[in-house]
Amino acid sequence: MCGAVVIGSRTLLTAAHCVTTYISDPSILRVTVGTSYRLSGGKSYDLKRIVIHESYTSATLENDIALLVTRSDMSFSKSVKAINIASKNFNLPNGTEALVSGFGTVSYEGSPSDVLLAAKVNIVPKESCKRSYLGIASIADGMVCASANNPPRDACQGDSGGPLVTKNVLIGIVSWGEKCANPVYPGVYTRVSEYESWIVSRVNTYG
């Protein structure tokens, strides 16, 4: 359905738009970690709680971030580890190469991938991204854009909530975009550094 990112022994981050339907009954959902296959392997954990950012807005997808809390500790191993999150002052120059990954569709409205895929993308200047989406949507401070060409590369449907990583640091969460791998419209991610204090606070409270 969506991706997520392990940040602690009982906590993961995802996109708020992935889980708004389930906040009243998180037990409907499970998270599976430690496998590169969509339908097999790894270990699954029941969810105890979903914490959606209090200012999340579905109309604009601002503050598109949520914390997932598992009922039991996840077992860490070579294939399951917690990632460091970008701090408020994390330096992210335009053009920085990053890696986005997930089990989402391999083309717009296509079929999901049965294996975990990843794509190298580059951070797009905010003003450039704003111009691309002018008249369509707003690019808020809590968002960061990334894209790649030759060939075009991007996250796609089903990748929402998954990680955008550079130098083993989580800098973004897959949020939204105009179709997939469209050279005119970069992919838009929740900018993790903008939410460092929110993440730490919620982990300390619920994790």
Same domain for 97 and 183? yes
| Total domains present in the chain | 2
| Calpha distance 134→130 (Å, rounded) | 6
Count other C-beta atoms under 10 Å from residue 200's C-beta: 14
- Categorize the per-residue pLDDT at 109 as very low, low, confident or very high, splitting at 50, 70 and 90: confident
Query: Is 154 labeled as catalytic in the residue annotation?
Result: no
Query: Is 132 labeled as catalytic in the residue annotation?
Result: no
Same domain for 166 and 201? no
The amino acid that residue 22 corresponds to is: Y
Q: What is the mean pLDDT of residues 42-62?
A: 97
Residue of 53, 64, 132, 154 marked active site: 64
Q: In the prediction, which pLDDT does 68 show?
A: 98
Same domain for 68 and 51? yes
Same domain for 103 and 31? no
Domain that holds residue 50: 5-82+194-206
pLDDT, tens only, 166-182: 999 999 999 999 999 99
Q: Report the share of the chain in percent with pLDDT over 90.
A: 94
What DSSP string runs through 10-50? SEEEE-HHHHGGGTT-GGG-EEEES-SBSSSSSEEEEEEEE
Same domain for 177 and 106? yes
The amino acid that residue 75 corresponds to is: S
Q: Which residues contact 75 (CB under 8 A, 6 or more apart)?
A: 43
The yes-or-no verdict on residue 207 having pLDDT over 90 is: no
Q: pTM for this structure? A: 0.96
Residue of 101, 132, 147, 160 marked active site: 160
| Calpha distance 180→199 (Å, rounded) | 28
**188 contacts 175 by C-beta, under 8 angstroms:** yes
Q: What is the mean pLDDT of residues 130-150?
A: 96
Query: Is 159 labeled as catalytic in the residue annotation?
Result: no
Q: What is the mean pLDDT of residues 89-116?
A: 95
Same domain for 88 and 55? no
Same domain for 163 and 131? yes
Q: In the prediction, which pLDDT does 178 show?
A: 94
Same domain for 93 and 189? yes
Same domain for 144 and 89? yes
Same domain for 163 and 78? no
Q: In the prediction, which pLDDT does 1 show?
A: 86
Same domain for 147 and 88? yes
Same domain for 110 and 70? no
- Categorize the per-residue pLDDT at 45 as very low, low, confident or very high, splitting at 50, 70 and 90: very high
What CATH number corresponds to the domain at position 56?
2.40.10.10
